[in-house]
Amino acid sequence: DTEVTQTPKHLVMGMTNKKSLKCEQHMGHRAMYWYKQKAKKPPELMFVYSYEKLSINESVPSRFSPECPNSSLLNLHLHALQPEDSALYLCASSQVGGRGYGNQPQHFGDGTRLSIL
């Protein structure tokens, strides 16, 4: 069992739909992350939130819109996605720590498997 909960586990949507992925953690972590993982590839970082503020955006298209409403929740809003956006979307959390204080492993959820029709 994971301490990071992602819902839904599976999502099928059309290219014109709007949907949201949700992630929740209750470990008191103040950093939260979204990763995208295509089949048979490693995870790729999309966004990082630190203290509920967006700190890293890895040049992700605007059809992906992250939101961090509070320290326990992270959302990823989806709109007008393309078939190539079909992937496993992973959420993770960690303590923030600081540069040079690398004692902050990330805890991952089991992801949302997204299929775009």
Partner 1 sequence: DAKTTQPPSMDCAEGRAANLPCNHSTISGNEYVYWYRQIHSQGPQYIIHGLKNNETNEMASLIITEDRKSSTLILPHATLRDTAVYYCIGSGGGADGLTFGKGTHLIIQP
Binds partner 1 by CB under 8 A, chosen from 12, 27, 96, 117: 96
| Residue nearer to partner 1 on the CB measure, 33 or 64 | 33
Give the SS3 label for residue 117.
coil
Q: How far is the CB of 80 from partner 1 (least distance, A)?
A: 25
Binding piece for partner 1, criterion CB under 8 A, among 13-21, 61-69, 70-78, 107-115: 107-115
Work out whether strand 87-94 and strand 112-116 pair parallel, antiparallel, or are unpaired.
Answer: antiparallel
β-sheet bridge partners, residue 5:
24
- Helix or strand (DSSP H, E) at 52: none
Return the number of other C-beta atoms located less than 10 Å from residue 64's C-beta. Answer: 19
- Per-position x/- string for 47-86, each x denoting binding to partner 1 as judged by CB under 8 A, each - no binding: -xxx----xx-x----------------------------
On the CB side of 92, CA atoms within 13 Å amount to: 21
Tokens 């992801």 label which residue? 111
By CB under 8 A, name the binding residues for partner 1. 2, 4, 30-31, 33, 42-45, 48-50, 55-56, 58, 90, 92, 94, 96-111
